[in-house]
Each structure stands twice: as C-alpha cells, then as structure tokens.
Amino acid sequence: MTLNFALLKLPGMKRLLAGYGLSVIADTSVYIVFAIWAKQLTGSTSDAGLVFFCFIIPSLISPLTGNTIDSLRKDGIIVFTNLFMAASILTLQFAHEKYQFICLLTSAFIYGLGYVVFNSARVCLVVNNYEEKYIGEINAVLRTFRETLRLTAPLLGVYLYTSFGSHFFVWFVSISLIISAVLFINLEVKKSPLSQQMRISAFSFNGLMDGAKGLWRFPLIRSCVLCLSVTLLVAGFYEMILFSILEHLNRPLSVIGQLISAQGAGAVLGGILSIRLIKTMLPELLILGGFFIQALGIAGLFASEISLIYLSCATFGFGVPLSMVGLDTLIQTKLPVAIQGRANTSLEAITSIPFSLSFLISSLMTSFIAYKIILWCMVTGTVLAAVLLAFAVRKASLPVR
C-alpha cells in the first residue's frame, strides 16, 4: 500500500483504523450470514432476499438522523451506535426459535440503519479531526482497508457460522462491535464550532433537508451525485449478468465466487492507487476516471474467453473505489462542516433508490431479455454518466465571467 506513514502519527489515526476495521469485519460478515441463517430457518430463498431488503431500506429514512449526527459528538454517536447494534444482534442469542426469523429481520433493519449512522458519523469525525490536506488520503486508506477486509471477512463469517453455529457467530460480531466502540471513545479531538448552538435541535426535524439542499446547491457535487445515481441504476444488473455469462460459457455457477473475488482484488488495487492519486488529482477527476474504468470493465464482459471475464471483473472493481474516494473527498472539502452528517445521510437515501430499483429491474429483465442487451444498457448508462460528468467538470473549471 502506498501509504504515507505520517498519517499514522496523526492524533487518533491508529484507533480510527482499528475501530473501523472491526466494524467492517462485522458488517461484511453479517450481511451474508443473516441471509444464510434466514434460508435455513424458513427454507425460502425469498425470505433470504427479505433480509437484504431490511438491510437496505433504512437508507431511505436515514436523513431523519442527520440533525443528531451534526449536533452531537461524533465519537459518542459511533460508540452508542455500535453498542446498540451489538445489543440487537445479541437478542438473537436468546430468541426462541419460533420468533428467530422476526428477530433476524428486526436486527437486520437496526443494523442497516446503524451502518448508515456509523458511516456518516465517521465521515464527520474525519472532517472534524484532521486538516483538509489529509482528508482525501485518509478516505483512500479507509476505502482500501475496507475493500481488503471484504475479500476475507465474509468467508470468515460463513466459516464461523457453519462450523461453530449461530451462537458463536453472534458473540463474534457483538464482541467485534463492542471493541470497535471502545476504540472510538473520546476519539474526537476537535469540536465543530456550531455544535453547541445546534445541540437543541439534535432531535428535531428542523433543517433535516439542509444536507440534501447542500448537495443540490453546489453544482459540481450535484452533477456527481446525479451521475452516480445513473451508474447505480444499472449497477444491480452486475451479479445477475455474471450468472448469465457463466451459463452462456457453460461454466459451473461456483465460478461466480471467483469472479466476485477478482472484482474484490481489483477494488483493493484501485483503493491503493487512489491513495496516491487523491494527493495529486482533483476529486472530481478521480470520480470521472472511476466511471470510465467501470465502463471499460463492463464492456469487457462481452468477451467469450473466461480469462477476459476475470480481467473485466477486476477492472470494474478497480474503478469503484476511485469514484467513491473522490466523491467522499469532494463532499467533505466543499460542504460546510455543520451539515456533513445530514449531507451524508441524504446521499445514502438518494443513492439507495436507484440501486434498489436496479435489483428489481434486473430480476425482471434477465428472465426474458438476452444478457448482452442488458450489458449494452449497463455500458450505455455508465458511459452516459461519465460523459455528462466530464461536461460538468469542464464547466466547473471555466472561469466565471
């Protein structure tokens, strides 16, 4: 990893990395294991899908938490959120088997909401704690760390669940979250100057739309969010397309795991490169480059050689962290500190809509439309987003007359 080790000497940076890492291990384990658990409890694949729905749907109501995140100490919010998620998962340890599926869905919903709150508070914590010159690089390091853990943490979670049972897995996740919470205690070293005057509105509905308004008022951020939404509208086709490609190439469906791993490896490499690029490139150019690389990776899926399919998956994965690091950094450095929490929860809500729709559309399209036509839709959508963003970036760079 091309890491500036001076970052590790920044106040609280080691604790931030450790606490974030434990949270990522818990997150990426829970998503897949809860689906497997639901399938075993009910025998229904649709019930496993319902678990994923419970993870995603809280993003739509996450803006309601924006005032709280902006008004209170960020480390305190993270500690409370992690402990609350740990408690919700521990209820599964004591739930009667008759009610375990309902408890599983409830826990998934709480965890989905907790993840959004945790991530938004973590973004604010980075803005509050560190100088602007470090923010982009810290984002890149955290993204690379996340993508690296995503390669192994789900496998670890499934292994613990299948080898030692649900009780062991529940305690593993809960303890990880509790340790993460401990690491975040008193981690905030600088306080937002507006936090005291906004404290009275922490649990009110006044100003909840300020985050969304902030995203909309800044033209370049608005363009980036809209273009990202276009790419997400076709992103849900990706996994379904891979199944169709394997069937077309007469390859066993078990290869899907290898293709996802190739995508993950590409994401790790993209994260590593973003650590260097964010120090020398404008965030909007990083987003733009990520879109074009993702389009290239999607176009490569037209290949008839499995080796090229592996390479295409890795290329697609390579482009994702570039775009996300660029977007996070752009929002953190351009919008006021006072609305960072509301801006990030609004972003989660806005982007979750096209992403959720893409899964629904893909499930309908793949049953009666050839996968190559769907691939053309993916390529067209992603390239269109990249071209529109290129015009927006060019317009933003022109001098104001």
Residues 48-58 have pLDDT tens digits of 678 877 888 88
390 is a domain residue: yes
399 is a domain residue: yes
Q: Name 313's Cβ contacts closer than 8 Å, sequence gap at least 6.
A: 242, 259, 260, 262, 263, 266, 297, 301
Q: How many domains does the chain have?
A: 2
pLDDT band at 363 (very low <50, low <70, confident <90, very high): low
pLDDT of residue 196: 42
Is residue 167 domain-shared with residue 271, that is, in the same domain? no
- Indicate the residue type of 267: A
191 is a domain residue: no
Is residue 325 domain-shared with residue 383, that is, in the same domain? yes
195 is a domain residue: no
Q: Helices marked H in 193-254 — which ranges?
A: 195-198, 210-217, 219-235, 237-248
pLDDT band at 208 (very low <50, low <70, confident <90, very high): low
137 is a domain residue: yes
Residues 65-117 have pLDDT tens digits of 888 888 888 999 999 999 999 999 999 888 777 788 899 999 999 999 999 99
Is residue 220 domain-shared with residue 308, that is, in the same domain? yes
Is residue 117 domain-shared with residue 224, that is, in the same domain? no
> Domain range for residue 158?
10-185
Is residue 211 domain-shared with residue 341, that is, in the same domain? yes
Q: Pick from 335, 313, 221, 301: which is nearest to 265 by CA?
A: 313
pLDDT of residue 283: 94
Structure tokens at 37: 């658990």
- Please compute the mean of the pLDDT values over residues 230-250 and round it to a whole number: 83
198 is a domain residue: no
Residue 370 is classified by DSSP as -
pLDDT of residue 10: 86
pLDDT band at 330 (very low <50, low <70, confident <90, very high): very high
Distance CA(27)–CA(46), nearest Å, equals: 21
The domain that contains 64 carries what CATH number? 1.20.1250.20
Is residue 14 domain-shared with residue 111, that is, in the same domain? yes
Distance CA(122)–CA(139), nearest Å, equals: 10
Highest mean pLDDT among 46-55, 137-146, 195-204: 137-146
Element (H, E) at 150: helix 132-164
2 is a domain residue: no
- Please compute the mean of the pLDDT values over residues 190-203 and round it to a whole number: 49
pLDDT of residue 119: 92
Residues 1-53 have pLDDT tens digits of 455 667 888 888 999 999 999 999 999 889 888 888 888 888 876 676 788 77
> Residue 104 in contact with residue 92, Cβ under 8 Å?
yes
Distance CA(152)–CA(291), nearest Å, equals: 26
